[in-house]
Chain A
Amino acid sequence: MKSLHRSGGPRQKSRIPWDLVIPLIPLLLWLFLLLIFPHLRLLMLSLMKRGQKSLAEGGIFLGNYLKPFQDPDHLFIRVFIRTILFSLINTLLTLAVAYPIAFYVAKVVKGMRKFVLLVLIALPYYISELVRVYAWMNILRETGFLNYLLVDVLHVMSQPVEFLYNTASLFVVFVYSSVLLMLMPIYSSLEGLPDEQLQAAQDLGAGPLATFTHIVFPSSLPGVTAGFILVFMMNVGDYLIPNLIGGKNNLWVTEMIYNRFIVSTNWNLGAAYSLVTLVLTTFVVWLGLRLTGQTLRGVFSEQ
């Protein structure tokens, strides 16, 4: 449209809108072959019996979705609830840890010190999650740094203890690996809050607490939502931390999916597990966005 005055020239313009078609081809290949069809295939698998060739052949089978309820130990249901519950708790913990830091960087320090602090906080997150989780194993292991400190240096304990494979260590490492995802969106929304607003609240008689509840927190709410969504999703979908830090007592949905697909092959059941998890995370994200009136793009560009 922008170039109409040119296209009316002597050279006849081709009928095919190349600037639409050329970028559309890779996009459609990407979306259909790597996202839409694979998830449809997952849906089909989840609706078939083990060994069933196609939906047309044996009809729709709901057994994979019913199986968790029929299992005597309700393993999947327990794991599923644990995953959601622990992810929620961890997201709240992360919020509690990250918020004061985000406020400090956004509103307390200025100039060069702020820049240095930001870099210091962000830098570890470019390092692979695996390395960061492993670094914690170096501390928490039975032969790790914490035992060395407590037994050999401080002589507080006589015998080393295994600090890994329990729920507390799971949370310590989960918070560690997700705190930046919470911190950055909160930081950017606080950064947009002018200092004068805080001064005005104080001038009108608000103490620090009232200023926080009436001015600071409401204006950081978009950031908090974004952080909440990012951290919750990252936690539900995580494999490494539950596997390496949480141990056998803290089985995660992702581990169950892995086990169904790779260890004791039952893809149909694994597909059902995957879809249930996917529906859950999508629902939580949708709910978060709906409640705060934000868009997915807005949330992710805050990062």
Chain B
Amino acid sequence: MLSRRGAQRSRLGRKLLWLIYTLYVLAFLLYLYTPLALTSILAFNDRDIPSFPWYGFTTDWFYNPDFGQAGLEETGGAGNIGTGATGGRMGVFNDVKMMNAIKTSFIVAVAVTTLSLLVGTTTAFLFERQRFFADAALYFVMMAPLVIPGVILGVSILSFGNSIILWLRGIFGREAIRPIATLLRPGLFIVVLGQFSWIATLATMVISARLRRFPIVQEEAAMDLGANRFQAIMNVTIPYLTPAFVSAGIVSFLLSFENFGTTLFLIGNDPTLPILFFSRLRFSITPEINAVSVVLMAGTVLFGGIVMGLGQLRGHMSSGG
């Protein structure tokens, strides 16, 4: 064995390589979490500018109970940097605009989720169960949003909405179409449509994946026992799809809630949270931004945890039987 000595030496080298490898994985986790951890720490820093060093713990940037009283008297409140005077501090839950933006995002996300689940379900049934004229072409178009940058989806819908307004105006006149024009101009209605245009694709994919695994013989059994087609689907198929509805729903909600690219082009006067967040960032960075980040992180990690937990559960269920 010529190579034996060499092999034994390389064994030691390999131990070292393994050590480096493990350290790399740890460094990667550090890379993932350091920015988030630092932001979270800053959100509780008792200092009026969002920077280190640590000045002490406060929850003012989430909610300042004194806001509005002391703050009104100290009109030029910018001077109290680092003094510990809390009167002028605006926490996330003191910030009316921020709360409105959260509300707006929530409404948009609920609308997009509802629409995406409904259309995702019907579309999943359509493509999984039916063969029809041009089905392959329509399927291709349905998948297209996966390769269209969100920004471009945004501008295309913006221009199309505008062109409809122009077209209708040419026929009916400016006044007659005002209600429709308001809907098609940048605003929440068109934001919902814009987000729906690609989130529905993902919802369809999640639901289709589960529908494909559904043993259709169960539906046939239900019909054999006297149910009609609709009853069979409602009583047997839909319950089977529930886990897919939950994960598609949560994913849709999160994607809508935090969407930026598409929304940027379609938003009107009521900003969603990401849009407001972005415009604040460009204006000036305040500790409140850190607190909003923490609120967002907490919310999404909670949702994300549920999705992953469901995935795990599904894995167990499918491996168990």
- A–B direct contact (CB < 8 Å): yes
A170 at the interface (CB under 8 A from B): no
**Are B31 and A176 touching (Cβ within 8 A)?**
yes
**Are B305 and A143 touching (Cβ within 8 A)?**
no
**Are B142 and A130 touching (Cβ within 8 A)?**
no
Total inter-chain residue pairs, C-beta < 8 Å: 225
Closest residue to B29 on the A side, CB-wise?
A120
Bitwise, A103-124 to B at CB < 8 A (1) or not (0) is 0100010000001010111111
Which residues from A are CB-within-8-Å of B304? Answer: 122-123, 125-127
**Are A130 and B31 touching (Cβ within 8 A)?**
no
Complex Cα distance, B92 from A59, in Å, reads: 54
**Are B205 and A277 touching (Cβ within 8 A)?**
no
Closest residue to B158 on the A side, CB-wise?
A261
B99 at the interface (CB under 8 A from A): no
Closest residue to B229 on the A side, CB-wise?
A3
**Are A135 and B39 touching (Cβ within 8 A)?**
yes
Tell me the chain B residues, 14-52 only, with Cβ under 8 Å from chain A: 14, 21, 24-25, 28-29, 31-36, 38-39, 42, 49-52
**Are A270 and B155 touching (Cβ within 8 A)?**
yes
- The secondary-structure label for the interface of chain B is helix
Closest residue to B290 on the A side, CB-wise?
A138
Closest residue to B216 on the A side, CB-wise?
A2
Known A122-B304, A128-B274, A254-B151; contact A19-B229, beta-carbon cutoff 8 A:
yes
Which residues from B are CB-within-8-Å of A37? Answer: 160
B209 at the interface (CB under 8 A from A): yes
Q: How far does the Cβ of A219 sit from chain B's closest Cβ, in whole Å? A: 20
Interface size class of A (residues with CB under 8 A): 35 or more
Residue among B146, B194, B307 making CB contact with A126, cutoff 8 Å: B307
Complex Cα distance, B223 from A138, in Å, reads: 61
B254 at the interface (CB under 8 A from A): yes
**Are A244 and B281 touching (Cβ within 8 A)?**
yes
Complex Cα distance, B25 from A121, in Å, reads: 10
**Are B32 and A144 touching (Cβ within 8 A)?**
no
Which residues from A are CB-within-8-Å of B62? Answer: none
Complex Cα distance, B29 from A117, in Å, reads: 9
**Are B155 and A271 touching (Cβ within 8 A)?**
yes
Complex Cα distance, B197 from A101, in Å, reads: 34
Which residues from A are CB-within-8-Å of B193? Answer: 34
Which residues from A are CB-within-8-Å of B25? Answer: 100-101, 104, 117
Which residues from B are CB-within-8-Å of A31? Answer: 138, 141-142
**Are B205 and A128 touching (Cβ within 8 A)?**
no
Which residues from B are CB-within-8-Å of A137? Answer: 281, 285
Mark the stretch among B69-77, B175-183, B258-266 that contacts chain A.
B258-266
Complex Cα distance, B160 from A261, in Å, reads: 13
**Are B147 and A282 touching (Cβ within 8 A)?**
yes
Known A27-B142, A36-B141; contact A141-B260, beta-carbon cutoff 8 A:
no
**Are B29 and A27 touching (Cβ within 8 A)?**
no
Q: Which of A23, A152, A233 has the most CB of B within 10 A?
A: A23
Residue among A127, A148, A236 making CB contact with B297, cutoff 8 Å: A127
- The secondary-structure label for the interface of chain A is helix
Q: Which of A22, A127, A233, A254 has the most CB of B within 10 A?
A: A127
Residue among B14, B130, B147, B300 making CB contact with A127, cutoff 8 Å: B300
**Are B265 and A262 touching (Cβ within 8 A)?**
yes
A60 at the interface (CB under 8 A from B): no
Mark the stretch among B82-90, B118-126, B240-248 that contacts chain A.
B118-126
Complex Cα distance, B152 from A237, in Å, reads: 8
A residues apposed to B, CB below 8 Å: 2-3, 6, 19-20, 22-24, 26-28, 30-31, 33-39, 41-42, 45, 97, 100-101, 104, 108, 115, 117, 119-132, 134-139, 141, 143-145, 148, 152, 176, 208, 233, 236-240, 244, 254, 257-258, 261-262, 267, 270-271, 274, 277-278, 281-282, 285, 296-297, 300-301
Cross-chain pairs A/B with CB under 8 angstroms, 28 sampled: A23-B126, A24-B126, A26-B123, A27-B138, A31-B142, A34-B193, A34-B197, A41-B160, A100-B25, A115-B312, A119-B305, A124-B32, A124-B33, A127-B296, A127-B300, A130-B277, A130-B278, A143-B51, A148-B52, A152-B53, A176-B32, A237-B152, A239-B264, A257-B155, A271-B159, A274-B155, A296-B146, A300-B205
A38-B157, A130-B278, A240-B278 provided; 7 other pairs, C-beta below 8 A?
A: A19-B130, A24-B132, A36-B141, A126-B303, A143-B49, A148-B53, A261-B158
B residues apposed to A, CB below 8 Å: 14, 21, 24-25, 28-29, 31-36, 38-39, 42, 49-53, 118-119, 122-123, 125-126, 129-130, 132, 138, 141-153, 155-160, 163, 193-194, 196-197, 200, 205, 209, 216, 219-220, 223, 229, 254, 257-258, 260-261, 264-265, 274, 277-278, 281, 285, 289-290, 293, 296-297, 300-301, 303-305, 307-308, 312
